[in-house]
Structure 1
Amino acid sequence: MKPHDMGVLFDECAEQQVGTRVHLDRPFDIDAGARTHHTLPHLAALVREAAGWLAAAGAGPGDRVAIVKDNHWDYDLLACAAVRVGAVPAQLSAHLSGEALGTLLARLGPALLVTTAQVLARGRKEGTDLASTARATLVLDGAVPGTLGLDDVRGHTAPGPHRRHDDEPLIINHTSGTTGVPKLVVHSTRTIIGKLARFECVRLPRIGLRRTDVLANASAFAHGRTFCWTASALCRGPAAISIITTQDPNLADPVLRAHPPTVLEALPASFVRFQPLTEGLDNPFRRVRMVISTYDAVHPPTVRAYLGASRHRSPVWMEGWGQTETGPLTFRFHTRQSVRRASGGTGTRNLGRPVPVKTRLRVVDPDTFRPLPSGHAGLVLARTAACALGYVGEEDRWSAKRHGGWWNTGDIGARNRDGSIELLDREVDRTPQLSCLRTEDLLEARLPNALECVVLAEPGRDPLPVVVTADGRVDPARWKEAVRDLPPLREPVALTWDQVPRTGTGKVRRRELLHHLTGRTGTCGSGRWT
């Protein structure tokens, strides 16, 4: 089975007698039964029920429905319910500030806002009345004056599925927002389902999902990756799916142990936080045969820890690089042998080759946009049929990132002789002294107690290194040894994980961190293509 109409996806999978069992680390926020175990017929019924709520709240064909709530897979169930009634769901992370949410909701102008009392209260505390941006607001977890509660919309029959053209807007997701307010990206059925999810449904040898697999996902479910993943994962019909909503290893451990995954997908930040669980012969990752990583590169020590934790004969780490606007652009595979060869701290910045048949990449001079030969660093441009339709409320910004039929990723990289791409930095974050990303890899390999290293570029000054550790301290002697052969760096700032500002996907907000540490936000790059 291949996905197409997301409004009836769960119904179709249930009718196909796909026996996938779903296990949650906590109940859905939209499930009155507070269950942590579901079958696909249960989930299909829940989507239909939610579609009835949305219709009763006034959402219909062509309307935008904004969804802002705590992180969980029911983001995608609500999105499918909105698609069913003909609306266009916009999934916004509750991790965003009240100001950022207010800006995005103003751009959207939603007919309906689906949210929680806590999100509304936080918005008011930060000076933003989120409910005022929508024609109506549906609160999932209580009664708030001037809004609808679930008791007001329960019991309404869902309308029949609304069909839309493959090129009409289907879903709106925002970018990570590492450099400011995120962009709102519009995808159609053709781009995100036809070109991306259907491609993932191909059962490839060794890396294809099997009927016997237990698939675990620890993600940020407000983002477009999981909407695409929902389509492909359900249609491939694994034996079980486990959903992890937290980055706390103590809370994730019970469901991982109860249902040991054979295929694991997670945010880079989740891999780092769960890494202590890899220790010991009875670790919950001992059955893993494949790890899938998206959003951002994962440093070599973390890759090595998970592949080493598996008792499988030859586990594979599949790393995908892409953007919300394009989906995956390259794939690369890591094995125990390849990460052993990268023990010096390099290796995961090679993003691999373009997705065969689907993607073309070129590296160009940032000033002239002329193609550069192999080995020369420049802007990475991509050509893919999966490119989104545009940005909501920022048409000029979208146009500025289009160069003929090519999409400007805003990343600085170099093409290797074998056609693979070496990622060096985001254009806005680059510095002439060094590659911040490569330096971070080296530092993490040389500082065993580092959870993460971040190198911040600032005009006219040596780069500022930030070392994230469990206790917020770094040993001076170890640091001196780690930087012995590197270009000049300032003295490191040591922080704990929670002291670092992050996006909903766990990426570091570099500019915000730089401002916090130095009081300045200037960067060496132009920032024209962020």
Structure 2
Amino acid sequence: MKPHDMGVLFDQCAERGTATRVRLDRPFDLAPDGGTDYTVDALAALVEDAAGLLAAAGAGRGDRVAIVKDNHWDYDLLACAAVRLGAVPAQLSAHLPPATLAVLLHRLRPALLVTTRALLERCRRADRDPARTTGAVLALDGPAPGALGPDDVRGRPAPGPRRRHDDAPLVINHTSGTTGVPKLVVHSTRTIIGKLARFEAVRYPRVGLRRDDVLANASSFAHGRTFCWTASVLCLAPRALTVLSRPDPHSADPLLRAHPPTVVEALPATYVRLRPLTRRLDNAFRDVRLFVSTYDAVHPPTLRAYLRASAHRAPVWMQGWGQTETGPLTFRFHTRRSLRPPGADADARGLGRPVPGRTRLRVVDPDTLRPLPRGRPGLLLARTPARALGYVGEDDRWEAKRVGRWWSTGDLGVHHRDGSVELLDREVDRAQRLSCLRTEDLLEDRLPEALEVVLLARPGEAPLPVVVTEDGALDAGRWRGAVAGLPPLQPPMVLTWPQLPRTGTGKVRRTALLRQLTGRTDTCGSGRWT
């Protein structure tokens, strides 16, 4: 089976007899009394019931339905329910600051906002009441001032599924927003399902899902990656799914031990947070044959920790690079043998090669946009049939990133003669004498106590390093040894993990961090392609 109509995806899988068992780390916000163990049949019934709730709250064909709640897979169940009605779901992360969320809701003008009482209260305390720019508001955990509760809309049967053209808007997701207000990206059935999910719903050798796999996913379910993942994974029908909604090793460990995964997909930041589990003798990753990461590169110490934790004969790490607007553009594979030993020049910024037959990459001069020969660093452009339809409320910004038939990724990199691609920096975050990303990898390799290293480039000054440790402390001698042989850097700022502003995908919001530490936001890049 290949995915197509997301409004009836769960129904079709249930009718086919898909036996996948789904286990959650906590109940869905959509069904707080529904427990943590589901069959596909039960999920199909939950999606149909949710469609009835949304319809009773006022959502209908062609409407936008904004979904903003705590992180969990029911983001996608609610989205499928909206699609079933003929509406267009817009999945917005609850990690967004109230002011940012207000901007996105103003652009969307949804007919219905699906949220929680806690989020409504947080926004209202910041004088950013979401109800000002929405039609109706449905709070999943009970009524609130100006909002319906589930009991107000429960009991109405869902209308029959409503189809849409393959090129009509299907779903709206926002970009990570590391440099400011995220963009709202519109995908169609043809782009995100036909070109992305259907390509993934294949049992490829070694990296494809098998029927006996137990797949654990710890992602940000408000983003387009998981909407695509939901479509493909249900059609591939692994033996079991384990869904982790929180990057908490204490709550994740019992669930992973009870149902040891053979495949793991997680956010790079979540891999970092769960890394202590790899050091246990009977660790939860002992059966894993495949690790998958997207959104951002994973630093070498983390790659090594998980690959070594697996007792599989030859575990593989598949790293994808892409954007919300394009889907994956390149893939790279790491193994125990391919990773360089600690202390060697770090090599995690190699992005692999473009997806064969599906994407093309070109490197151009950032100022003239003229193509550069292989091996020269420049601005990465991409061509893919999976490119989204546009940005909501920002047509000019969308057009500014189009370069003829090519798309500007906003990343600086090198396309080597062997076809491989190396990422250097985001153009807006670049430094003048070094690659911030490559230097971060090197410093993390030299400082095992560092959970993360972030370099913030500023015009006319050496980059400011931010070192994240468990206790916010770093030995001065260890730092001097780590920066030996590197271009000049400022003295490090040492912080703990919660002190860094992050996106819903765990990425550091570099502009916000720069403002937090220096009171400035000017960078060396132009920001033209953010």
- Identity among equivalent pairs (%): 72
The alpha-carbon distance between structure 1 residues 378 and 220, as it changes in their structure 2 partners (threshold 3 A), is: same
Offset of 1:417 from its aligned partner? 1.3
Q: Which letter does structure 1 place at the counterpart of 2:233?
A: A
The residue type paired with residue 466 of structure 2 is V
In structure 1, the partner of 2:9 is 9
The equivalent of 1:356 in structure 2 is: 356
- Kindly state the Cα deviation for residue 281 of structure 1 after the two structures are TM-superposed: 2.8
Unmatched runs of 5 consecutive residues or more in structure 2:
none
Distance 1:158 1:32 in 2: 20
C-alpha displacement of 1:193: 0.2
Code of the aligned partner of 1:413: G
Q: How many residues align?
A: 530
Measured against aligned partners, the alpha-carbon deviations of 1:211-256 in whole angstroms (never above 9, x if no partner) come to 0000000000000000000000110000000000111111111111
Q: Secondary structure of the equivalent of 2:413?
A: strand
1:237 maps to 237
* CA deviations over 1:306-359 (Å, ceiling 9, x no partner): 000000000000000000000000000000001135752411100000000000
Paired residues of 1:345 and 1:444 also in contact (CA < 8 A): no
Partner of 2:472: 472
Residue 514 of structure 2 aligns to a residue in which SS? helix
The code of the aligned residue for 2:521 comes to: T
1:33 matched to which residue of 2? 33
Contact 2:69/2:116 (CA < 8 Å) preserved in 1? yes
Cα offsets for 1:367-391 (capped at 9, x unmatched)? 1111111221100000000000000
What amino acid sits opposite 1:484 in the alignment?
A: A
SS of residue paired to 2:44: helix
For residue 167 of structure 2, what is the aligned residue in structure 1? 167
1:502 aligns with 2:502: yes
**SS of residue in 1 equivalent to 2:340:** helix
Q: How does 1:116-515 map to 2 (within 5 A)?
A: 116-340=116-340, 344-515=344-515
Deviation at 1:275, TM superposition (A): 0.3
Q: Residue 504 of structure 2 aligns to a residue in which SS? A: coil
CA drift at 1:143: 1.4
Q: CA deviation at 1:206?
A: 1.0
SS in 1 for 2:159: coil
Shift of 1:146: 2.1
Contact 1:300 1:343 in 2 (8 A): no
After the TM superposition, list the runs of 4 or more consecutive aligned residues in structure 1 that deviate by more than 6 angstroms.
Answer: none
Matched letter for residue 303 of structure 1: L
CA distance 1:208–1:325, shift in 2 (3 Å):
same
3-state SS of the aligned residue for 1:378?
strand
Check conservation: 2:342, 2:445, Cα contact below 8 A. no
Residues 33 and 393 of structure 1: CA distance in aligned 2, closer, same or farther (over 3 Å): same
- Structure 2 CA distance, aligned partners of 1:253 and 1:320? 25
* Cα distance between partner residues in 2 of 1:87 and 1:14: 23
- Which secondary structure state, in structure 2, belongs to the residue aligned with residue 352 of structure 1? strand
Provide Cα deviations, 1:124-166, integer angstroms capped at 9, x if missing partner.
1111011121111111112112221100111110000000000
What letter matches 1:117 in structure 2? R
Tell me, in whole angstroms, the C-alpha distance in 2 between the residues paired with 1:280 and 1:258. Answer: 15
Distance 1:318 1:362 in 2: 23
Could you state the TM-score of these two structures normalised by the residue count of structure 1?
A: 0.99
Task: State the one-letter code of the partner of 2:71.
Answer: N
Mapped pair 1:523 → 2:529: no
CA distance in 2, matches of 1:108, 1:321: 28
Which deviates more from structure 2 when the two are superposed, residues 200-209 or residues 310-319?
200-209
Residue 79 of structure 1 pairs with residue 85 of structure 2: no
Cα separation, 1, equivalents of 2:303 and 2:188:
34
Distance of 1:145 and 1:130 partners within structure 2: 12
Tell me the C-alpha RMSD between the 2 structures: 0.8
Structure 1 unmatched runs, 5+: none
Task: Provide the residue aligned with 2:44 in structure 1.
Answer: 44
Secondary structure of the equivalent of 1:159?
coil
Q: 1:276 to 1:32 in 2, by over 3 A?
A: closer
Shift in Å, 1:409: 0.1
Q: Distance in 1 between matches of 2:485 and 2:495?
A: 24
SS in 2 for 1:441: helix
State which drifts further: 53-62 or 73-82.
Answer: 53-62
Cα deviation for residue 431 of structure 1 reads 1.1
Q: Is the 8 A contact 1:346 1:441 kept in 2?
A: yes
The residue that corresponds to 2:23 in the other structure is 23
Cα drift, residue 432 of structure 1? 1.1
State the Cα distance separating 1:32 from its structure 2 match: 4.4
Contact 1:109 1:134 in 2 (8 A): yes
Q: For each residue in 1:23-74, what CA deviation from the matched residue of structure 2 results, as whole angstroms up to 9, or x when unmatched?
A: 0000000114331000000000000000001111111110000000000000
Please tell me whether the aligned partners of residues 342 and 446 of structure 2 are also in contact (alpha carbons under 8 angstroms): no
Following the alignment from structure 1 to structure 2, what is the Cα–Cα distance between the partners of residues 348 and 357? 24
C-alpha distance in 2 between matches for 1:381 and 1:53:
43
CA contact (8 A) 1:65 1:111 kept: yes
Partner Cα separation in structure 2 for residue 503 and residue 194 of structure 1: 28
Q: CA deviation at 1:479?
A: 0.6
- Counterpart code for 1:135: G
1:178 Cα deviation after fit: 0.2
CA distance in 2, matches of 1:337, 1:255: 30
Asked if the contact 1:300/1:345 (under 8 Å) is kept, the reply is no
Shift of 1:500: 0.6
8 Å Cα contact 2:142/2:151 also seen in 1: no
Amino acid at match of 2:6: M
CA distance in 2, matches of 1:190, 1:343: 45
